[in-house]
């Protein structure tokens, strides 16, 4: 495993182009595009203000830089560095900006969710979509980029509009049976739209592309409900994480629950492997206080850690949430299927330092990763069943069915990994610190061995 040198970045704005060739990073008001292989700067763009959001177009030709405070969006072309485009939302404000799947339109959501403005780069045309709903996930494009589902709120009722992304033709507009729609998500095959209600009510609705209600699922009533929803890449399963610390898996034929994964504080499952991160502080002996050691003193302050396999039963650390506060830190907030739909990684908010890995084939717990600190982020390798996670310290953790490893990021100045992103090839990882970034190259041959 190799690590690149550290680069500067700000706002954790750092993205690899969809084709995997370029790496775009934002440093204050500058946009830097590098070659992923060589890490040489290919282009340097200067924006009008500090960039708050940056995104690649789907064809990797354009980069969008949004400056929400100014209500400005600037688009840069990689092919034509002279080409420029500036979109000003004016006094109406801007809270969100995104590419349409074709990479020729920009959808801006104005402040107060007054409307969504669609700017076309081809025709310079502007279209407005009124009444977008301010919610967890109000807009979703289908995987093939044909359709866009938009949650709307009109006359105190929830609606879903399905647009054809090609010409923003409203294909379907239907009312949903929700009290307060919280989010929607297309299935990867783009034929089923999952809609879920706010946490006050456990309700998941499944709509066909043509607006027919396929199924309704509700696990329980009264207590806080759905917290997160994820489709499996194969569209076979819909995983629903909820406030009752369980993940329920629905199947795509009957839309009934296949199984549920519980996240107990004590693991009694003997088949599951519990990896516990153990921190070892380097012993400071009199011999070590030599000049040699002081020169490489940086590493001296870094703790070493490794995983130990704990025999079950294992007691996991649990933080009881404050019942008086809204959005209690309990329940499954993050769900992620591996690219082959074989594994599911989950995180229960009241056990923030634990990541659970489930085998979807066997419908059972495979591994539990107990970290010393709260897990910030985890992401599956887009090619292999390999999970990378970070906990805001100087280490990178990787899990695969073969085992678990903790890697010290060998950079100076205490690089703390706050977030990470896989390269689409799965060969490298982008590690994001507070102000820096670093690439981590996987030694795949070694991994395969």
Residue (85 or 279) nearer to another protein, CB: 85
Q: What are the angstrom distances between the C-alpha of 418 and each of 167, 303, 400?
A: 39, 17, 21
Cβ neighbours of residue 320 under 8 Å, at least 6 residues apart? 350
Asked if 146 touches another protein (CB under 8 A), the answer is yes
DSSP string computed for 207-270: EETTS-EEEEE---SSS--EEEEEE-TTSSEEEEEETTSEEEEEETTT--EEEEEE--SEE--S
Asked if 124 touches another protein (CB under 8 A), the answer is yes
Choose one: 77-85, 321-329, 367-375, 403-411; the region binding another protein (CB under 8 A).
77-85
Distance from chain centroid for Cα 284: 40
Q: Please state the closest distance from residue 125 (CB atom) to another protein, in A.
A: 9
Choose one: 27-35, 55-63, 217-225, 338-346; the region binding another protein (CB under 8 A).
55-63
Asked if 102 touches another protein (CB under 8 A), the answer is yes
Asked if 164 touches another protein (CB under 8 A), the answer is yes
Per the CB < 8 A criterion, the answer to whether 415 and 428 are in contact is: no
Asked if 331 touches another protein (CB under 8 A), the answer is no
Work out which of 95, 191, 214, 424 binds another protein, going by CB under 8 A.
191
Asked if 95 touches another protein (CB under 8 A), the answer is no
Cβ neighbours of residue 402 under 8 Å, at least 6 residues apart? none
Contact flags string 383-422 toward another protein, x per CB under 8 A: ----------------------------------------
DSSP string computed for 108-149: EEPGGG-EEEEEETTT--EEEEE-B--STB-EEE-TTSSEEE
Per the CB < 8 A criterion, the answer to whether 392 and 418 are in contact is: yes
Asked if 122 touches another protein (CB under 8 A), the answer is yes
Asked if 254 touches another protein (CB under 8 A), the answer is no
Three-class SS of residue 446? helix
Q: Please state the closest distance from residue 93 (CB atom) to another protein, in A.
A: 10
Work out which of 1, 4, 49, 59 binds another protein, going by CB under 8 A.
59
Report the interface residues with another protein, using CB under 8 A. Answer: 58-59, 62, 71, 77, 82-92, 102-104, 112-115, 119, 121-124, 126, 130-131, 144, 146-147, 153-156, 164, 166-167, 169, 171, 189-191, 208-210
């Amino acid at each position: 495993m190799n690590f690149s040198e550290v680069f500067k970045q700000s706002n954790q704005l750092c993205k690899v182009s969809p084709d995997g060739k370029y790496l775009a990073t934002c440093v204050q008001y500058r946009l830097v595009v590098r070659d992923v292989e060589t890490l040489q700067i290919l282009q340097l763009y200067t924006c009008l203000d500090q960039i708050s959001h940056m995104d690649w177009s789907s064809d990797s030709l354009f980069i969008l830089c949004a400056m929400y405070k100014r209500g400005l969006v600037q688009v840069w072309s990689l092919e034509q560095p002279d080409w420029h485009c500036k979109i000003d939302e004016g006094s109406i404000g801007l809270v969100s900006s995104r590419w349409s799947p074709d990479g020729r339109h920009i959808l801006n959501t104005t402040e107060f969710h007054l409307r969504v403005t669609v700017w076309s780069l081809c025709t310079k045309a502007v279209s407005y979509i009124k009444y977008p709903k301010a919610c967890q996930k109000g807009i979703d494009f289908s995987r093939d980029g044909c359709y866009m589902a938009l949650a709307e709120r009109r006359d105190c009722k929830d609606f879903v509009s399905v647009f054809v992304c090609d010409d923003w033709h409203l294909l379907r507009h239907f009312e949903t049976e929700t009290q307060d729609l919280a989010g929607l998500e297309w299935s990867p095959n783009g034929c089923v739209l999952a809609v879920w209600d706010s946490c006050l009510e456990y309700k998941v609705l499944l709509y066909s592309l043509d607006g027919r209600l396929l199924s309704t699922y509700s696990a329980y009533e009264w207590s806080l409900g759905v917290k997160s929803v994820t489709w499996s890449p194969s569209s076979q399963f819909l995983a629903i994480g909820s406030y009752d610390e369980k993940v329920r898996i629905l199947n795509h034929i009957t839309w009934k629950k296949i199984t549920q994964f519980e996240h107990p504080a004590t693991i009694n499952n003997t088949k599951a492997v519990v990896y516990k991160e153990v921190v070892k502080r380097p012993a400071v002996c009199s011999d070590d206080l030599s000049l040699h050691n002081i020169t490489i003193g940086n590493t001296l302050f870094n703790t070493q850690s490794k995983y130990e396999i704990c025999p079950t039963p294992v007691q996991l650390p649990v933080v009881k949430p404050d019942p008086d506060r809204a959005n209690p830190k309990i329940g499954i907030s993050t769900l992620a299927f591996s690219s082959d739909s074989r594994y599911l990684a989950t995180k229960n908010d009241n056990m923030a330092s634990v990541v659970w890995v489930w085998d979807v084939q066997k419908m059972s717990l495979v591994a539990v990763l107990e970290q010393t600190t709260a897990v910030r982020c985890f992401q599956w390798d887009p090619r292999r069943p390999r999970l990378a996670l970070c906990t805001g310290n100087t280490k990178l953790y990787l899990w695969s069915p073969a085992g678990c490893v903790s890697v010290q990021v060998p950079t100076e100045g205490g690089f703390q990994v706050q977030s990470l992103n896989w390269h689409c090839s799965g060969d490298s990882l982008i590690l994001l610190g507070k102000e820096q970034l670093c690439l981590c190259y996987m030694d795949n041959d070694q991994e395969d061995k």
